[in-house]
Amino acid sequence: MAAQGVHSCQFEVFGKVQGVNFRRHALRKAKTLGLRGWCMNSGRGTVKGYIEGRPAEMNVMKEWLRTTGSPLSNIEKVEFSSQRERDRYGYTNFHIKPDPNKEAPENEAIGSSTSTNESY
């Protein structure tokens, strides 16, 4: 089923945005606006993400990313990819992806040395 008026774009937020609950606040804002997609910490000290939804709500989120963020954040700049129209939603909600800068818990480690089954 095609969704009418669905647009998407990627973003990257620069500044003091890690370790200040930026992703959690972005999650709340996106859910309040009915947006879908994700955000995550990057290895470069930024927060990256992808949003999809109606253009009006996306514009509100973009402004929030540029000017508000979390209370302890200090946003230097935000880069957005070109906003594109989509045939349908690609996500069912907005979520935070795991932080690639932190190791997975021991029982979730990928390619653990105790693994003997190499065929996936």
DSSP conformational letter for 3? P
| 16 HSE (CA, 13 A, CB side) | 6
What pLDDT, on the 0 to 100 scale, is given for residue 112? 34
Q: What's the pTM?
A: 0.80
Q: What is the mean pLDDT of residues 98-109?
A: 58
| 86 HSE (CA, 13 A, CB side) | 18
High-pLDDT (> 90) share of the chain, %: 77
Q: What gap in Å lies between CA 49 and CA 54, rounded to an integer?
A: 17
| Residue 34 backbone dihedrals phi, psi, to 5 degrees | 75, 25
Q: What is the mean pLDDT of residues 3-16?
A: 92
The CATH number fitting domain 7-99, selected from 3.30.70.100, 3.90.1150.10, 3.40.50.1000, 2.70.70.10: 3.30.70.100
Q: What are the Cα distances from residue 111, in Å, to 54, 74, 102, 114? A: 40, 37, 16, 8
pLDDT, tens only, 41-83:
999 999 999 999 999 999 999 999 999 999 999 999 999 999 9
Question: Is the model's pLDDT at 116 over the cut of 80?
Answer: no
As to burial, measured by CB atoms within 10 angstroms (0-12 exposed, 13-18 middle, 19+ buried), residue 7 is: middle
Give catalytic residues, as residue numbers.
23, 41
Q: With beta carbons less than 8 A apart as the criterion, state whether 34 and 53 touch.
A: yes
Report the chain's mean pLDDT, rounded to a whole number.
86
Question: Is the model's pLDDT at 93 over the cut of 90?
Answer: yes
What pLDDT, on the 0 to 100 scale, is given for residue 99? 81
103: confidence class by pLDDT, cuts 50, 70, 90: low
